[in-house]
Amino acid sequence: MNRIGVLALGALFGACGPAERLEPEKPVHAVRAEVAPPAFVGVVWLSADPSAPPGSLRIFLPDGTLVMDSCWETYRLARWRSIDERRIEWQEDTARIEADVSQPTVQQLELRLGR
């Protein structure tokens, strides 16, 4: 047998020995707390404020987009976020709007602006 053949056989038989038992690594899972969005998210809210333009509506989308529209105005998209369990904020042009939120019933949403 030639020298290369012997080396190849030696490598082959050397690799056939008993395998080392390695403990499998335990996967590390990052746990992200899933917080349920507030109940008013994803609902079309029509304004009952007599001083608001007719057909005024707000939709707080789960991705942080606020859709605002009325029969008389062009729609507006803004970013919104929860500050805490009772307050939200959004940006209109250069103004930061903050509102206290309450939802006395499933079909009623109250926003109190300012602070």
Domain locations in the chain?
A: 44-113
Tally of CA atoms within 13 A in the half-sphere of 114 that contains its CB: 0
Question: What's the CA gap between 90 and 70, in Å, rounded?
Answer: 18
Please name the residues in contact with 11: beta carbons below 8 A apart, sequence gap of 6 or more: none
| pLDDT tens digit sequence for 46-100 | 999 999 999 999 999 999 999 999 998 899 999 999 999 899 999 988 999 999 9
The fraction of the chain above a pLDDT of 90, given in percent, is 57
Please name the residues in contact with 79: beta carbons below 8 A apart, sequence gap of 6 or more: 64, 65, 66, 90, 91
Q: What is the band of 44 on the pLDDT scale with cuts at 50, 70, 90?
A: very high
Its pTM surpasses 0.75: no
Could you tell me which of 90, 88, 91, 114 has the C-alpha nearest to residue 101? 88
* Structure-token pair, residue 33: 């707390």
